[in-house]
């Protein structure tokens, strides 16, 4: 008899001896209570790798109902899911079927399914702000709303305590993320099916002959992301100045948080948006489906995307000396950044390797290499 899937979560078989990149641990309860030492730790994490573990965040109770919602959604037949596929126009909300995004310049396909729900829709339900969703999501919108609300509060709190550290007046960042302003903030439940399961796709072959990624190397688009797993590895970071991808060890009760592009840009690149990717989990976990769940906090679409130099001398000084900030495309908004990045990853929009290059955000800055990022590279 096949054991029900839920009995194999959380997984506890991530290999003990696999070398992993260590991350600083931040205690959210302490940050929230104003503990300056803990805020120092958060500041350190966001200015160094831009990734950290977050504990005592209060989202724990909301994650399993989200995974259940994801499973029931991905179990729907394609006829029910495809009308809600995110499409090729640069919208992230909706279902994303595996194989419809590229993962690299060569044009390899991604191997994961997403069900993304816009914060705008979750909070306004039953009103529709961005789009409608598959039946299961609608039936369980209470679950999504609770997850979105709780996660959004956590990330808004982290964003607020970081403000004074970079000389920004109180409320500057919150004003770019006002509730009711349409934004790219969203929840995302991710499934990489096990071999033989519905919707499974094998990874392609990368340019170097190694297997391609399940989710290609990228930086996140928004301010902060918060990721929950169910004990499966597969998330990797490329630490700045290195060329070896390193696993992040899943730790029970700890979310993995990271800075995204818009926080990096608003801060004049004081805060770092680090490149990461997803590969099949290490054996023996690779025989099992891999589940993850993210909440992305992103600015209102209409907000300009440029260093907040007129609000902080520290930001201005950093932006003026940082080549990545100097190379930023002019006239971007948070919405144009998000839309370009999402649309140009879609297989249907691919013309060649230049399309992948044009989908990039701060990846080259993350690698400390930034000739003209955000636009195609010559050659």
Ligand X SMILES: O=C(O)CCC(=O)C(=O)O
Binding residues for Fe ion, rule: CB under 5 A, are: 220
User: Judged by CB under 6 A, does residue 190 bind ligand X?
Assistant: yes
User: Shortest Cβ contact with ligand X: which residue?
Assistant: 292
Q: Which does 325 bind (CB under 5 to 8 A by kind): Fe ion, ligand X, none?
A: none
- On the CB side of 291, CA atoms within 13 Å amount to 21
Integer-rounded Cα radius of gyration of the chain: 19
Give the one entry of ligand X, Fe ion, none that residue 294 binds, where binding means its C-beta sits below a cut-off of 5 to 8 angstroms depending on kind: ligand X
- Rounded to a whole number of angstroms, the minimum distance from the CB of residue 374 to ligand X is 18
CB of 23 to Fe ion, least distance (A): 15
- Decide if residue 235 touches ligand X (CB under 6 A): yes
Q: Which residue is nearest to Fe ion (CB)?
A: 220
Report the DSSP pairing between strands 24-27 and 51-55: parallel
136 binds ligand X (CB under 6 A): no
Binding status of residue 227 toward ligand X by CB under 6 A? yes
Residue 276 within binding range of ligand X, rule CB under 6 A: yes
Angle in degrees, CA 47, 53, 56, rounded to 5: 120
Q: Is 273 in the site for ligand X (CB under 6 A)?
A: no
Token reading at 360: 């990039």
Q: Tell me if 144 contacts ligand X by CB under 6 A.
A: no
261 lies in the binding site for ligand X (CB under 6 A):
no
Q: How many residues does this entry show for the chain?
A: 379
Q: How far is the CB of 35 from ligand X (least distance, A)?
A: 28
Task: Name the strands in the sheet holding 215-218, side by side, starting at the edge strand that comes first in the sequence.
Answer: 215-218, 276-278, 235-237, 246-247
- 293 contacts 303 by C-beta, under 8 angstroms: no
Contact residues for 243 (Cβ-Cβ < 8 A; gap 6+)? none
Residue with tokens 């899911």: 81
| Residue ranges that bind ligand X, judged by CB under 6 A | 188, 190, 215, 220, 227, 235, 276, 278, 292, 294
């Amino acid at each position: 008899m096949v054991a029900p899937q839920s009995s194999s979560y959380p997984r506890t078989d991530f290999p003990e001896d696999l070398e992993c990149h260590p991350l600083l641990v931040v205690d959210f309860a302490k940050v929230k209570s104003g503990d300056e030492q803990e805020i120092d730790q958060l500041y350190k994490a966001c200015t160094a790798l831009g990734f950290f573990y977050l504990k005592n965040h209060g989202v724990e109770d909301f994650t399993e109902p989200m995974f259940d919602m994801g499973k029931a959604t991905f179990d729907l037949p394609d006829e029910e899911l495809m009308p809600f596929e995110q499409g090729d126009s640069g919208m992230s909300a909706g279902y994303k079927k595996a194989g419809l995004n590229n993962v690299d310049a060569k044009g390899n396909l991604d191997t994961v399914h997403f069900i993304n729900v816009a914060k705008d829709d979750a909070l306004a339900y039953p009103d529709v702000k961005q789009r409608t969703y598959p039946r299961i999501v609608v039936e369980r919108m209470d679950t999504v709303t609770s997850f979105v609300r709780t996660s959004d509060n956590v990330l808004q709190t982290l964003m607020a305590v970081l403000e004074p550290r970079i000389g920004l007046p109180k409320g500057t960042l919150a004003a770019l993320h006002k509730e009711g302003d349409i934004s790219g903030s969203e929840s995302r439940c991710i499934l990489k099916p096990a071999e033989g399961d519905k919707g499974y796709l094998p990874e392609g072959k990368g340019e170097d002959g190694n297997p391609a990624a399940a989710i290609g190397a990228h930086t996140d688009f928004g301010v902060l992301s918060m990721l929950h797993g169910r004990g499966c590895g597969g998330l990797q970071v490329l630490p700045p100045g290195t060329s070896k991808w390193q696993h992040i060890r899943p730790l029970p009760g700890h979310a993995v948080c990271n800075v995204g592009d818009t926080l990096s840009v608003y801060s004049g690149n004081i805060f770092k948006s680090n490149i990461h990717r997803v590969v099949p989990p290490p054996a023996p976990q690779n025989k099992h489906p891999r589940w993850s769940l993210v909440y992305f906090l992103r600015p209102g679409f209409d907000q300009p995307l440029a260093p907040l130099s007129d609000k902080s001398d520290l930001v201005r000084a950093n932006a003026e000396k940082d080549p990545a900030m100097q190379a930023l495309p002019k006239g971007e908004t948070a919405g144009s950044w998000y839309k370009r990045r999402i649309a140009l990853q879609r297989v249907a929009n691919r013309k060649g390797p230049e399309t992948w290059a044009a989908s990039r955000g701060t990846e080259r800055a993350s690698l400390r290499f930034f000739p003209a990022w955000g636009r195609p590279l010559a050659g």
